[in-house]
Structure 1
Amino acid sequence: MMRLEHLNLVVNDLAETLSFYQAAFPHWKVRGGGEGEWHGVLRKWIHFGDDYNYLSFNDNGKGLMRPVEGYDLGLAHFAYVVSDLQSLIQRLTLAGFEIAIQGGKDVNYDSVYYMDPNGYEVEFVEYLTDIPSERNQYS
């Protein structure tokens, strides 16, 4: 078995970042954190998630995020499967975040994209079928 356990993201501000992800994932918690030096820079870090998956946030990011609409190397977006997309949209709206892109929608799935406070593009998709061949249509 193989699965993705975590993403390690450099961010600007831990509290601001948490405001987005706590609204998206109210069942997740801060698992731990600390301070340390990373390549000569003092950083605070936290792990936010559940017992099996998490996001690692490291503060004091510098520079600009690559333009997500461009073709520069780097992360374009990452995605989460959710069981109730409308509830997620409602939570993020109440927390002050707006949909950046209305994603695909058909009889098998619905999706939206948000920009987190650091400029990471995050997709949320709700599959409306449990049949893999219906979920994974590329035509």
Structure 2
Amino acid sequence: MIHLEHVNLVVRKEDIPAMLKFYQTVFPHWHIRDQGVSDWYGKSRTWLHFGDDYQYLALSDNGEGENRDLTGHQVGLAHFAYVTNNLDAVITRLTDAGFEIAKDGAPHPHRKNIYFIDPAGFEVEFVEYMSDIVSERNSTI
């Protein structure tokens, strides 16, 4: 079996506490698995792994530049997505914590989804499926 274990996001130094707040709000059952300082091609970076026993986000600071324009067509990460069994609860936790919905997902009879922009500018989709039939979940209707 192959599954995604982690995503490594490089952010600006000041973004790590805000990123941690965002993802702690989304995943209240996750914790900091490990953290430290290391050298990345001659540049010191503070890093932390936030997740559970099976998957996590790796956050590293000292990133340079800006994230890609999500309304543009530049090469790069467009978004990543998490499946939840209670989208309304995720939305409530995030909006109660002061995070704004970036955009609604398209209406669909077998799924509902929403997009947020995390503090480092990465677009994160949250999706809840209303069908166990894969062809229905993934249809473009």
Using the size of structure 2 for normalisation, the TM-score is 0.95
Say which SS state the counterpart of residue 61 (structure 1) adopts: coil
* Residues 30-85 of structure 1: CA deviation (Å, up to 9, x unaligned): 10011011111111100011101110000122201110111111000000001100
Q: Alignment length, in residue pairs?
A: 139
Q: Tell me which residue corresponds to 2:139.
A: 137
- Once the two structures are superposed, the pairs formed by residues 41-80 of structure 1 within 5 Å of their partners are 41-80=43-82
- Once the two structures are superposed, the pairs formed by residues 22-101 of structure 1 within 5 Å of their partners are 22-101=24-103
Task: Tell me how far apart the structure 2 counterparts of residues 96 and 133 of structure 1 sit (CA, whole Å).
Answer: 36
Task: Tell me how far apart the structure 1 counterparts of residues 73 and 59 of structure 2 sit (CA, whole Å).
Answer: 25
Task: Tell me how far apart the structure 2 counterparts of residues 105 and 81 of structure 1 sit (CA, whole Å).
Answer: 17
Unpaired stretches in structure 2, ≥5 consecutive residues:
none
Aligned CA RMSD, in angstroms, stands at: 0.9
Using the size of structure 1 for normalisation, the TM-score is 0.96
Displacement of 1:108: 0.6
Displacement of 1:105: 2.6
* Residues 2-46 of structure 1: CA deviation (Å, up to 9, x unaligned): 111110100122111101001011111110011011111111100
